[in-house]
């Protein structure tokens, strides 16, 4: 946690200004939500850009907030599509380069490329001259770009129908090698090409694209990208859990600081607000809120009821409130005992405050660990149910 903000919270508590302290805690949560990440999806018209944008955001093409898709060029303006749960992450669906309305030589100026973090250039066939011109301009601006060969599921079906001795891995390698060779022949050195099906992100190269983007993003933007990712694999869920776990010590430290203020009941009141705020983050980041589960149900063709029945935590698919959080917290007798001891020892001279602060740290750390384990397990259960009912891959 930012040291200045931590100090401001503690000062507010020392002044017995609980409202200000809570406001500062909420300010911290807002800071975590406001790291901007702007991702461009572009390429020639009808290459599947909009479908890729929707898949990345974890929503179905039929969703009212989906980027419009179709067999003709449907993207005619620079359109931002915020992530439904993480509005700081915006996917920009750009018009196809080289269209009559957007000739390549005026394209860069029109879309305002300077504000974007990285670029994904999509093609459903061979990458063409306009794609290369775009990549070279992005390269000149010293920004990252990646090539996505889309609709690879269609290509594989065509390969299987037309080849007598069809071999999946050999066909995929041939398609990727052809894309790379084509780009190199047009003057691009070491182009990064990923084969993707927007309808089945867990297949082909999307996991490699995710790993590459996560690795090459600035450190302060990696979490924003990771948490915006749909749960397309167990690895993604585990990465989210690890990232969330790394922050528990900061929340426990804040809880400990509050425990050092001699105001009866303050520590419990602030801790409840802290726990509720953090648990809400966990639910949204794992995609366990009702809206996210409904989107997953639509994409996977699984009834929402069955996804909900796969979960075990009372915190999943419901509104996270103080009573629910405290009910789960109270299921561990040791936690309640430690919290009671903390309240009782705070007013003992000399040793009381240090002991209360240590106990508060322990109870908050353990409590958040329990919540995180519980919700991560639910994320795995939902993933298994959604993937298990899909046709064999």
**pLDDT 10s digits, 209-232:** 999 998 999 887 888 899 988 898
Higher pLDDT, residue 228 or 340 = 228
Q: What was the pLDDT predicted at 358? A: 76
Residue 133's pLDDT band, with cuts at 50, 70 and 90, is confident
Span of 38-42, 57-61, 72-76, 261-265 with lowest mean pLDDT: 261-265
Across the beta sheet with 193-195, the strand order is 79-82, 89-93, 37-43, 118-123, 144-149, 193-195
pLDDT tens-digit series, residues 250-285:
788 777 776 655 444 445 666 777 888 889 999 999
Compute the average pLDDT of residues 303-309. 92
Q: Please answer whether residues 253 and 3 qualify as being in contact, where contact means their C-beta atoms are separated by less than 8 angstroms.
A: no
Q: Parallel, antiparallel, or unpaired for β 89-93 and 193-195?
A: unpaired
Cα dist from 43 to 95, 124, 225, 304, whole Å: 8, 9, 21, 35
**Which SS3 state, helix, strand or coil, does residue 184 take?**
helix
Full-prediction pTM beyond 0.75? yes
Please list the residue range(s) of the chain that carry CATH number 3.40.50.300. Answer: 36-228
Q: What is the mean pLDDT of the chain?
A: 80
> pLDDT per residue over 171-208, tens digit each?
899 999 999 999 999 888 889 999 998 888 888 999 99
pLDDT beyond 50 at 84: yes
* Calpha distance 274→245 (Å, rounded): 15
Does the structural domain 36-228 have CATH classification 3.40.50.300?
Answer: yes
- Band the pLDDT of 113: cuts 50, 70, 90: confident
Residue 348 has pLDDT above 80, yes or no: no
- For the record, the structure tokens of 369 come out as 């660990």
- Exposed, middle or buried: residue 25 (CB in 10 Å: 0-12, 13-18, 19+)? buried
Measured from the Cβ of residue 372, the count of other Cβ atoms closer than 10 Å reads 20
- pLDDT bin (cut points 50, 70, 90) of residue 290 is very high
pLDDT of residue 373: 94
pLDDT at 391 over 50: no
Q: Which two tokens stand for residue 298?
A: 């639509």
Average the pLDDT over 297-316 and give the result. 90
Angle at 368 between CA 324 and CA 31, to 5 degrees: 95
Q: Averaged over 31-52, what is the pLDDT?
A: 82
Tell me the pLDDT band of 393, cut-offs 50, 70 and 90: very low
């Amino acid at each position: 946690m930012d040291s200045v903000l931590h100090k401001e919270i503690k000062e507010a508590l020392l002044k017995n200004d609980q409202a200000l302290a809570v406001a500062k805690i909420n300010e911290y949560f807002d800071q975590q939500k406001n790291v901007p990440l702007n991702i461009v999806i572009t390429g020639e018209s009808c290459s599947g850009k909009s479908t890729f944008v929707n898949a990345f955001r974890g929503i179905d093409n039929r969703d009212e907030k989906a980027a419009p898709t179709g067999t003709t060029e449907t993207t005619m303006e620079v359109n931002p599509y915020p992530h439904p749960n993480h509005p700081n992450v915006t996917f920009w669906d750009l018009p196809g380069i080289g269209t009559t309305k957007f000739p390549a030589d005026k394209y860069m100026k029109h879309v305002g490329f300077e504000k974007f973090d990285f670029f994904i250039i999509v093609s459903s066939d061979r990458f063409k001259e306009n794609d290369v011109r775009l990549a070279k301009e992005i390269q000149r601006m010293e920004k990252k770009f990646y090539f996505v060969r889309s609709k690879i599921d269609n290509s594989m079906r065509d390969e299987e129908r037309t080849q007598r001795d069809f071999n999946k891995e050999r066909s995929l390698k041939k398609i990727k090698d052809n894309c790379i060779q084509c780009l190199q022949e047009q003057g691009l050195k070491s182009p990064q090409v990923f084969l993707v099906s927007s309808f089945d992100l867990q297949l082909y190269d999307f996991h490699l694209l995710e790993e590459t983007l996560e690795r090459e993003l600035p450190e302060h933007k990696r979490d924003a990208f990771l948490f915006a990712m749909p749960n397309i694999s167990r690895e993604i869920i585990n990465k989210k859990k690890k990232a969330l776990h790394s922050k528990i010590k900061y929340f426990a430290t804040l809880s400990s600081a509050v425990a050092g203020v001699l105001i009866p009941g303050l520590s419990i009141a602030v801790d409840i607000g802290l726990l509720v705020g953090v648990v809400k983050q966990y639910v949204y980041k794992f995609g366990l809120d009702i809206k996210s589960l409904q989107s997953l149900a639509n994409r996977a063709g699984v009834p929402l009821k069955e996804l909900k029945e796969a979960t075990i935590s009372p915190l999943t698919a419901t509104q996270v409130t103080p009573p629910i959080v405290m009910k789960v917290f109270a299921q561990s007798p040791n936690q309640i005992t430690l919290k009671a001891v903390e309240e009782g020892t705070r007013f003992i001279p000399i040793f009381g405050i240090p002991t209360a602060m240590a106990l508060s740290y322990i109870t908050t750390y353990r409590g958040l660990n329990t919540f995180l384990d519980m919700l991560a397990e639910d994320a795995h259960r939902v993933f298994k149910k959604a993937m298990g009912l899909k046709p064999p891959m």
